Each structure stands twice: as structure tokens, then as C-alpha cells.
């Protein structure tokens, strides 16, 4: 087995003139975030964590589904507006969104997720806003937000991206995918997903409570996974791996999605109903309880944009076995107690056996936790917010400069990228 290794050189961290911190008495920019929905999801949770920590005065528009994250944002004092779109092709929402942007007199519009990026960029341009930032949360090698990356999807994405000022990638891996597509490297900025590590701190009492609630016997070795239940996450491989392990191994899966019925059917067919625990969607409090109950976290997905659940599991002190995780692959191998493993059920089962027998190569006693590793501190949400503030200053400065007065784009690779993964 090999731990994660970074394939990227150390970034150039010299400050740029257009990203200098604002003066203490400078007015706070007004920023509107446009997102597809505010249910339980990674991008939605990132918005919930980042907005209160930014130096901008922020508001949020959700195209659909103002769910739990909308409630949390409003509790933080962030205005949330519901656009009320009836579907992805509800073009009547476009003038409504443009009118909202114009009336709000926003300095910058920041869009999140594929459909919101398409509508939000066009509406912002119609409203006369020139500073446009979009975060690419879920771009894989073959899919974007679970959709196949067809030539049509890619062409539409690139057409919308040209309307923007800056595109934020959540990892160096995503940044490289974007530049391979043809997004100008001067417009790509890496701002990683951030976490509040304290929200996942291990609690021995919560471990006992959670195991009892799930019906997991004392002394069982518990595998955990988390994410949307879709084929790309490959959770079927975890169920099949469990079937190759002794009866005292259990699997806890947090998440919901269209593959839930297939996972339940597979569980029944393999006679694992008493050892597989599907818990549904979980907020950070519920996810913490499941991490406390677990002994190891597994991420079987072969195509990830970041790997947020992996970092959250590390914050809980869990050892991690993963197939792909840019969040770790972009850092030095000593940054986390994590092992990159094969994705077949047999390889996953063998990795679990190895981890249990060796304390994950580090002599970790059963039931104990690792200290919070450097990778988790690296992805602190406060750091991500500071990087995003820098992107905003860059976008606002560029929008205020006439195109004819802007210097030509340098030829060096990624000269203006705000690199995230500086050790």
C-alpha cells in the first residue's frame, strides 16, 4: 500500500498587487451567492461554513429547495431568497434573478454548482455586474455532479465560464481538469473545501451511544462510508467487501440517493441485513456520531473532485482507506493516517484486514483515535475563507479595470492562481 503523494510542485506564494488586503476603513463588498439548492450536501455545507467567515456582506439566492442549510444561514443572519424555479428549463427564472441582482446593487455575484452557474452568470451580466466568480465543486474526470461529461455539457459549461471573471476549483486536481478543458489558467484559482474540525471531535461516550442506537454489538469492527448514494460513489463495493470479512465486521453508510434501493437489495441478497446500517442523510452532528461509532473510514469512489468526507473522518481521528482523494493526493504523504488502496471488493477487504491487524501500520490500539493530523489543520475553513476573500479582491479589481488597460496574459503556467495546497 502507498500513502497519498502530491504530484504538484510547491506553489508560488508571492502576493500580487491586485490582491492586497483592503484598508481597515474600506467598504465591505456586497456579494450575492447563487446556488442550486440548500439541502444536505457538500457544496451547500461549504456555503454555510464560508459565508459567515468572509469579509463581504453576503446574501444567498437558491434556485430550488431552501432546506436545512437555508435555515442555518438565516440563523447566522444571512438573508436567503428562494427563486422558486420549477425545473432546470424554467427560463422565466432568468429575468427574475437578473431583476433581483439589479435591485440588490451587488458588487459581485458568486455562483455554485452547474445549473446555478449557467443561470447566475447570464443573469449577473444582464444586471450589469462585471465581477463574477464561480466555484466548481464537483468536476470529475467523467462526470459533473453525477451527470456524464458529454461534449454538449462541456460546451455549455465553457460558454458560461467565458462570462465570468474567476473560476474557483476546490483542489489542484480540479484546476488541472479545467485548464485541460481550455479554461484560461489566469482565471483558475484553487480554494479548497474547508471544515470546522471541532464539529467532528471524537467523543467516547457518543461512540457508545451511537453503537447502541445502531444495534452494533460491543467489540465489533465498524467500517464507515458517507456520501450521496449514486453509482459513482461505488458503495456497492463496500457492501461486497463486507461479505468477504468475518461476521464481527459491520458497515455504516451515511447518505441518500437513487442507489439506496439497489444497496438494500444487495445487502439482503448477500445476507448482510444485520451488519449493514444505512442511516440516510446526516447533518454534521449526525455524521459526528457515526464517525464516533466507527473504527475506519473507507472512500471507494474512483473519481473525486476533493474528498470532503475523508477530511471530516480524519478530523474525528479515524484512519482512512481511499481509492481517490485529491484532498490528500495534493499533500505530502505524512499529512494524514491514510492509505490509498485498490477499489475492488477483494482489495478493500484486504485493506481492512491489514488495518485491523497492524493498527493501520502505526500500532493504533482497537477503539482508539489518531491525533488530528496536519491535513485537517490545512483545510481549516478559516483558511479557505481568507483565500476566497483574495479571489474576490482580484475579481473586483479586474472588473474595475478597462479591458484595454489590462496587461497581457503571461505565458507561465498558472501565474495568477491562488494556490491552496501550500504545506
The structure's pTM equals 0.85
Identify which of 320, 138, 299 has the alpha carbon closest to the alpha carbon of residue 225.
299
Angle at 386 between CA 128 and CA 144, to 5 degrees: 65
> What pLDDT sits at residue 124?
96
> What pLDDT sits at residue 25?
61
Q: In what order do the strands lie in the sheet with 296-299?
A: 276-280, 249-254, 221-226, 296-299, 320-322, 338-340
Chain centre to alpha carbon of residue 60: 18
Q: Provide the β-strand partners of residue 380.
A: 195
- What the chain holds in terms of domains, given with CATH numbers, is 17-194+380-405 (3.40.50.2000), 198-378 (3.40.50.2000)
Burial of 230 (0-12, 13-18, 19+ CB in 10 A): middle
User: Would you write out the chain's pLDDT as a tens digit for each of its 423 residues?
Assistant: 433 333 343 333 333 334 456 655 678 999 999 998 877 778 888 999 999 999 999 999 998 878 888 888 999 999 999 988 876 777 788 999 999 999 999 999 999 988 888 899 999 999 999 999 999 888 878 778 777 888 888 888 888 899 999 999 999 999 999 999 889 999 999 999 999 999 999 999 999 999 999 999 989 999 999 998 989 899 999 999 999 999 999 999 999 989 999 999 999 999 999 999 999 989 889 999 999 999 999 999 998 889 999 999 999 999 999 999 999 999 999 999 999 999 999 999 999 999 999 999 999 999 899 999 999 999 999 999 999 999 999 999 999 886 555 554 443 334 344 454 444
> What pLDDT sits at residue 412?
33
Give me the DSSP letters along 4-24: ----SPPP--PPPGGGPPPPT
> What pLDDT sits at residue 90?
74
Amino acid at each position: 500500500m502507498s500513502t497519498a503523494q502530491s504530484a504538484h510542485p510547491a506553489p508560488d506564494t508571492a502576493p500580487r498587487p491586485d490582491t492586497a488586503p483592503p484598508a481597515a476603513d474600506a467598504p465591505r463588498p456586497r456579494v450575492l451567492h447563487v446556488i442550486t439548492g440548500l439541502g444536505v450536501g457538500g457544496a451547500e455545507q461549504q456555503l454555510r461554513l464560508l459565508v459567515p467567515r468572509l469579509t463581504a456582506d453576503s446574501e444567498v439566492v437558491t434556485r430550488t429547495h431552501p432546506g436545512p442549510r437555508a435555515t442555518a444561514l438565516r440563523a447566522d443572519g444571512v438573508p436567503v431568497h428562494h427563486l422558486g424555479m420549477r425545473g432546470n428549463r424554467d427560463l422565466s427564472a432568468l429575468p427574475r434573478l437578473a431583476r433581483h441582482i439589479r435591485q440588490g446593487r451587488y458588487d459581485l455575484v458568486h455562483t455554485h454548482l452547474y445549473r446555478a452557474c449557467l443561470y447566475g452568470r447570464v443573469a449577473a451580466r444582464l444586471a450589469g455586474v462585471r465581477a463574477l466568480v464561480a466555484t466548481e465543486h464537483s468536476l470529475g474526470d467523467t462526470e459533473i455532479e453525477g451527470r456524464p461529461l458529454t461534449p454538449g455539457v462541456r460546451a455549455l459549461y465553457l460558454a458560461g465560464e467565458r462570462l465570468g471573471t474567476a473560476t474557483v476549483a476546490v483542489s489542484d486536481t480540479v484546476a488541472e481538469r479545467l485548464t485541460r478543458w481550455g479554461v484560461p489558467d489566469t482565471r483558475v484559482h484553487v480554494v479548497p473545501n474547508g471544515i470546522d474540525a471541532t464539529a467532528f471531535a471524537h467523543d467516547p461516550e457518543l461512540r457508545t451511544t451511537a453503537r447502541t442506537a445502531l444495534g452494533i454489538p460491543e467489540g465489533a469492527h465498524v467500517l464507515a462510508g458517507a456520501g450521496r448514494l449514486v453509482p459513482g460513489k461505488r458503495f456497492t463495493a463496500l457492501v461486497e467487501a463486507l461479505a468477504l470479512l468475518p461476521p464481527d465486521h459491520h458497515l455504516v453508510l451515511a447518505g441518500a440517493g437513487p442507489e439506496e434501493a439497489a444497496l438494500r437489495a444487495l445487502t439482503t441478497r448477500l445476507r448482510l441485513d444485520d451488519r449493514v446500517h444505512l442511516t440516510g442523510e446526516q447533518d454534521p452532528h449526525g455524521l459526528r456520531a457515526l464517525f464516533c461509532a466507527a473504527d475506519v473510514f473507507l472512500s471507494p469512489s474512483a473519481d473525486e473532485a476533493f474528498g470532503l468526507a475523508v477530511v471530516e473522518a480524519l478530523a474525528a481521528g479515524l484512519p482512512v482507506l481511499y481509492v481517490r482523494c485529491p484532498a490528500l493526493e495534493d499533500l505530502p504523504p505524512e499529512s494524514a493516517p491514510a492509505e490509498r488502496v485498490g477499489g475492488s471488493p477483494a482489495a478493500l477487504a484486504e485493506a481492512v484486514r491489514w488495518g485491523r491487524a497492524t493498527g493501520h501500520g502505526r500500532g493504533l490500539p482497537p477503539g482508539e483515535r489518531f491525533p488530528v493530523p496536519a491535513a485537517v489543520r490545512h483545510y481549516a475553513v478559516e483558511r479557505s475563507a481568507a483565500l476566497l476573500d483574495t479571489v474576490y479582491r482580484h475579481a473586483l479589481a479586474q472588473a474595475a479595470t478597462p479591458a484595454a488597460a489590462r496587461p497581457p496574459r503571461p505565458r507561465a503556467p498558472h501565474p495568477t492562481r491562488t494556490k491552496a495546497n501550500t504545506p
